[in-house]
Structure 1
């Protein structure tokens, strides 16, 4: 199997307005979905990301503290999975709970280092 990364963007505006009950239900959906991926041995890992960042430019000489982009451009998290092909990985991504909040999921194959 090949390895793929799901890059999850957006949804911050919709996610932050939820009640505690809605948040709990959404987290349960995530646990069920990721549990299924783990059970089928397709899940490698993944985490949500914080919104603060440091950007290094000029060969690492310049460091800028900044909040990340808002809205649809915000990368909120990532998942690493195993799948047979890019199409297979995209099929797996279709069930991502992030779509409940208007997120997008970019699916990218990880290039093996040889």
Structure 2
């Protein structure tokens, strides 16, 4: 069994216009999807939701505001799962709520 990181990217948009009821529905979708991974004993660990602000360090010690405000999607969070191979990991990523919000799930194997 290998471990894979699922990296969740979503379009950058203002959540302040989302009602509490809508936010609860979004949270429930995530809980249900992760719960399915847990039930299959494929879930290893979760990442914490990332804040939108930060800094980017580049070669030569150059520090800029980030993360990359010029792009239209944000790295929202990540989790670690286990699967037999990359194909199974991709299959497990199906149903991720990030996809419902026009986002994507990047699936990356972890080196041991």
State the TM-score bracket (shorter-chain normalisation): 0.7 to 0.9
- Which residue of the partner structure matches residue 54 of structure 2? 53
Q: Which runs of 5+ in 1 are unaligned?
A: none
Root-mean-square deviation over aligned CA pairs: 2.0
Structure 1 runs (4+) deviating above 6 angstroms are none
* Structure 2 residues without counterparts, runs of 5 or longer: none
Structure 2 equivalent of residue 97 of structure 1:
97
TM-score between both structures, scaled by the size of structure 1: 0.82
Name the CA shift for 1:56/1:76 in 2 (closer, same or farther; >3 Å).
same
Are 1:28 and 2:28 an aligned pair? Answer: yes
Aligned runs of 1:32-47 on 2, under 5 Å?
A: 32-46=32-46, 47=48
The normalised TM-score by structure 2 is 0.83
